[in-house]
Amino acid sequence: MRRVLLFFVTLNLLFGYSQQSEQAVPWTLEAAVEHAVKNNLQIKQAYLDVMDAETYKSEAIGNFLPALNLSVGHSWNVGLNRNLTTNVFEDMTNQFSSGSVDMGVNIYNGKRNIYQLLSANLGVLARQYQLEDMKEDVMLLVVNGYLQVLFNKENLAVQNNQLSVAKTELEQTQGLVDAGALPQGELYELQATLATQEQLVVAAQNDYEIARISLAQLLLLDDFENFSIADSDYDMVATMILDKSPQELFDKAVTSRNDIRFAETNVEIAEANLLIAKAAYQPSLSGYYSYSSRISYADILVPTGAVNQVPIGTVAETGQAVVVPQAETGIASHLPIADQFRQNDGHNFGVNLRIPILNGFSVKNNVRRNKVNVARSSTVLNQQKQDLERTIYQSYADAKGGLKAYDAAQKTTLARKEAYQYALDRFNAGAATSLQFSQAKQRYDAAVSAELRAKFDAIFRIKILEFYFGIQLTL
């Protein structure tokens, strides 16, 4: 897993949280981690993914609600129309308004809405796990960078101390040579040793600067020149984590790791999507209802109450006129809008039943694809669990080996220190050559550096186990 690769690139210690601004004040590990989590662009993108998942969830909830729509319209009819006053066709403009309300609701669709809401809820959960997992990745990147700076800073201090010792020894030897107690040739080896130590200081200084700038860039800081980390003393502390068995560590980690939770949730999402696909085999029932009405703004004919006798012909034999009564009408403005809406309204409602029979194998193929996705997600989950188990067992062995290596390095340093002191005493007494003394010093310097690296390596490996076991990691 990528996090494990990050872990083993360099040393590791972990953290709590505090607030610290980007200025010349030395940065603590806690402040660096908090700053990175707050400003990292990938984490900001992950937050957006969570918001996007929340939107899908809102859409899934909305599927349970009926669809309700309101529509209104107004039209102008310009052209040849019948004039109600003259009862002849002429060019004129009439206006009309209409409105409607329609509603549709899913009565049954194979529980698809339920499964979609389940998938959406799992999607939100998965994105949250992914966000936390990404935070851990960024935290570990910062921790690795911070501890690389810390290691190089302490190594630089060690090399500077050794340089001071070498200068002091050279000055003392120079005094003995000037006094005639030692030959001039004894200075040459010490001068070479001093030059070598100066080279080591330059290399250590360069490593420290590179690590310091790399961490500042990782934190997205601009003031590289004034960036520094806080001085702290990181000593080995007693730990009970090695009292656990690797299996206990794995059982705990598999239930608490965000990357495992993310993979498990992806399996559940794939299973929910499979249920959605299978729901398409079932019939769906929906209902609908609509109400509509219209109004006109044209003048209308209204009866006046009078009745006229209108001739329609004559009797051929007698010549008598044939008349019919016809109510007299007059021109009036259109009816009130409310009255027209009531008179012209209408209702339309019903149900639709849709039974899938043959859809070009689309439903069948969709179900098949989702079955493959379930199998693929399960395979990814199993692979991640296997990787986690292998990593924990390896980390457990590395932690035990790291402690043993540190213990051995301490013993070696102690022995080299005594050998160095013995060689120094003999050299000052004239019983040892400068070459013998320089060799003893170089072996002691190498032992000090090896002990420093072994100390951080052991702390790092123990913190890995604590991280997997879910222990709150602090310095």
pTM of the full structure: 0.75
Coil/strand/helix, residue 333: coil
**What are phi and psi for residue 60, nearest 5 degrees?**
-65, -40
Euclidean distance between CA atoms 29 and 63, whole angstroms: 48
Q: 10 Å Cβ neighbour count for 248? A: 12
Question: Could you tell me if 186 and 434 are in contact, meaning their C-beta atoms sit under 8 angstroms apart?
Answer: yes
176 closest CA partner among 192, 194, 168: 168
What contacts 474, CB < 8 A, 6 or more positions away? 14, 15, 16
Order across the sheet with 88-108: list the strands. 67-83, 88-108, 284-296, 346-354
Task: Write the burial class of residue 208 (CB in 10 Å: 0-12 exposed, 13-18 middle, 19+ buried).
Answer: buried
Nearest to 460 by CA among 405, 399, 408: 399
Rg over alpha carbons for the chain, rounded to the nearest Å, is: 44
Per residue of the chain (475 residues), what is the pLDDT tens digit?
444 444 433 334 333 333 344 446 888 888 888 898 899 888 999 999 999 999 999 999 999 999 999 999 988 888 777 665 566 677 777 788 888 999 999 999 989 999 999 999 999 999 999 999 888 888 878 877 887 888 888 889 888 988 888 888 788 778 877 777 677 777 887 888 889 889 999 999 999 999 999 999 999 888 888 888 887 766 666 678 888 899 999 998 898 889 999 999 999 999 999 999 999 999 999 999 999 998 887 766 666 677 777 777 777 777 777 777 777 666 666 678 777 778 888 999 999 999 998 888 899 999 999 999 999 999 999 999 999 999 999 989 998 998 999 999 999 999 998 998 888 888 777 777 777 877 888 888 889 888 888 887 887 788 778 878 877 655 5
Residue-range domain boundaries for the chain:
2-70+110-282+360-469, 300-333
Tokens at residue 300, please? 């209308």
Q: Residue type at 47? A: Y
For residue 237, count CB atoms less than 10 angstroms from its CB and return exposed for 0-12, middle for 13-18, buried for 19 or more: exposed
Q: How far apart are CA 293 and CA 98, in angstroms?
A: 6
Q: Judge contact between 1 and 381, C-beta under 8 A.
A: no
CB-CB contact of 179 with 113 (8 Å): no
Give the closest residue to 474 by CA, choosing from 458, 456, 459, 455: 459
**Which CATH code fits 2-70+110-282+360-469?**
1.20.1600.10
Separation of alpha carbons 446 and 439, rounded Å: 11
Instruction: Give the span between the Cα atoms of 146 and 152, in whole angstroms.
Output: 10
Distance, CA of 161 to CA of 198 (rounded, Å): 11
